[in-house]
A and B are shown apart, each in its own frame.
Chain A
Amino acid sequence: MNRWIRTAIQGDMFYLMAFGLLTPIFALFLKEQIPNANLFTIGLAEGIYLLTVGILRPFTLLSTSGDSKGWRAQSLLWFGSALVALTPFLYLLSRDMLDIFVIQMIYGIGIAFSEPAWSRLIGLTCKMQPTKWEPFSTTGALISAGIAALGGFIAQTQGMKALLFYVGITLFFAAIFMASIYWRFGLNSKYKNI
């Protein structure tokens, strides 16, 4: 596999790019766009997402860690990524905080499905142990730092809805890119031993 593609996968930069755009100002989006949003409901929305991930993640982790070939992990990655990519568009359609709670739950399910699958596929295709990822997570942090500023700039100049639209599009292409990378260079490739 091309070493730049491998770095891209390990640095998880494509997902970071999309999430980093929205993360710092998500609370402001809710406050401005959703009628009954307040400090408590915004905290609750974040709590619902994290608790959904916390409850589901051990099960998906168990499922992917026992998957020696990686096929199940790949299916989970596709399904989870599709749910995550759907989330920004659902935010655009939401009308009150109840919608946001449901969307946060869907987003949590997507992350709980895709994140362990993603780790497993990195392990299988790149033959890397988690302890060796430190330089890539530093790169990832620096990239998401730049992206956070960019997200703020887009929201300031073009509005929150435009930002959400960009996030959705980026996530959609990131999901397709990651899925095709694993399909081409990972499990279905003759270059398995990289």
Chain B
Amino acid sequence: MISDRLKLLGLIDLLAVCAYGLLLPILPLFLIDQFYDSNIFNIALAYTFYLISMAGFSWIFRIFIEHGLSIVRIKLGLIASTLILAVMPILYMYAKTMTDIYLIQIFIGMAFGIMKIAWHKLTHEKLTDTVSLEAFSHTRNLFTTFGLGIAAVLGGFIAYQYSYRPLLCLVFSFAFTSFASSLIYIFTSEKKHKATKRPSH
């Protein structure tokens, strides 16, 4: 049986991934339409920056949490990464050149890199004997794939019907819900921690 806290972690991940899944399939068209200095090569370069940033920061964060105050750093990592993901759609709206887009892509890569490690650590911590890692990751993959599929169709429809700005607002709302869920996750854990400590005093 999957616990409520594990479901909440799953929701945080699903919302964050689906938020960007709304935009990702049509991101090249968004860049071509909105930025005068965009071309095929620098759109691919933006994608490259995102991947390098994600790989680099996930590696750095993995080393960072191996030292002291591990659980605090993991929780802070989750909050910081979801906060960055929530802010980025707003920056997309106000970006003027492809250089701004490169920076945004680096920040998004950083957020996903940190979130990947923090989320995995927290998930492994919450997994019990009744739920295996393999079963949980298969379930997560299934939900994420369906979520991304639906998000791609929805994102394309909104951009086609109403333009990019409402789409970016929707991306923001999904990402912000993910951030709010991660705050709920952290604060409820503190409450429970206090509640378990109180009787011993």
Contact among B27, B28, B44, B160 with A149 in the assembled complex (CB-CB below 8 Å): B44
A42 interface hit (Cβ, 8 Å): yes
Q: Please report the C-alpha to C-alpha distance between residue A149 and residue B46 in the assembled complex, in whole angstroms.
A: 8
Q: Please report the C-alpha to C-alpha distance between residue A35 and residue B61 in the assembled complex, in whole angstroms.
A: 45
Q: Please report the C-alpha to C-alpha distance between residue A31 and residue B152 in the assembled complex, in whole angstroms.
A: 16
List 20 A-B residue pairs with CB atoms under 8 Å apart, sorted by A's residue number: A24-B46, A42-B26, A43-B152, A43-B156, A46-B156, A48-B149, A51-B149, A53-B149, A54-B146, A61-B138, A130-B137, A131-B133, A138-B55, A141-B55, A144-B51, A145-B52, A152-B43, A155-B40, A156-B39, A156-B40
Q: A24-B44, A25-B40, A57-B145 are in contact. Are A42 and B156 (CB under 8 A)?
A: yes
Q: Is the CB of A39 within 8 A of B156?
A: yes
Interface positions, chain A 40-56, Cβ under 8 Å from B, are 40-51, 53-54
Q: Please report the C-alpha to C-alpha distance between residue A49 and residue B25 in the assembled complex, in whole angstroms.
A: 11
B29 interface hit (Cβ, 8 Å): yes
Q: Please report the C-alpha to C-alpha distance between residue A192 and residue B154 in the assembled complex, in whole angstroms.
A: 47
Q: Is the CB of A39 within 8 A of B160?
A: yes
Q: Within 8 Å CB of A155, what residues of B? A: 40-41, 44
Contact among A38, A46, A57, A156 with B25 in the assembled complex (CB-CB below 8 Å): A46
Bits for B143-162, please: 1 = Cβ < 8 Å to A, else 0: 00110111011111101110
Q: Within 8 Å CB of B55, what residues of A? A: 138, 141-142, 145
Closest residue on chain A to residue B144 by CB atoms: A54
A151 interface hit (Cβ, 8 Å): yes
Interface positions, chain B 16-71, Cβ under 8 Å from A, are 25-29, 32, 39-52, 54-55, 58-59, 62
Q: Within 8 Å CB of B131, what residues of A? A: none
Q: Within 8 Å CB of A25, what residues of B? A: 28, 40, 43-44
B97 interface hit (Cβ, 8 Å): no
Question: Chain B: residues with CB nearer than 8 A to chain A?
Answer: 25-29, 32, 39-52, 54-55, 58-59, 62, 133-134, 137-138, 141-142, 145-146, 148-150, 152-157, 159-161
Q: Is the CB of B142 within 8 A of A47?
A: no
Q: Is the CB of A54 within 8 A of B142?
A: yes
Given contacts A43-B155, A50-B149, 16 further A-B contacts (CB under 8 A): A26-B25, A27-B25, A39-B29, A39-B156, A40-B156, A41-B156, A43-B26, A43-B152, A48-B149, A50-B152, A51-B150, A54-B149, A57-B145, A152-B45, A155-B40, A156-B39
Q: Is the CB of B58 within 8 A of A138?
A: yes
What is the CB-to-nearest-CB distance from B35 to chain A, in angstroms, rounded to a whole number?
13
Q: Within 8 Å CB of A57, what residues of B? A: 141-142, 145
Bits for A99-120, please: 1 = Cβ < 8 Å to B, else 0: 0000000000000000000000
Contact among A46, A142, A148 with B152 in the assembled complex (CB-CB below 8 Å): A46
Closest residue on chain B to residue A23 by CB atoms: B47
Q: Is the CB of A27 within 8 A of B29?
A: yes
Q: Within 8 Å CB of A148, what residues of B? A: 44-45, 47-48, 51
Closest residue on chain B to residue A155 by CB atoms: B40
Bits for A130-155, please: 1 = Cβ < 8 Å to B, else 0: 11001000100110111011011101
Q: Within 8 Å CB of A138, what residues of B? A: 55, 58-59
Closest residue on chain B to residue A135 by CB atoms: B59
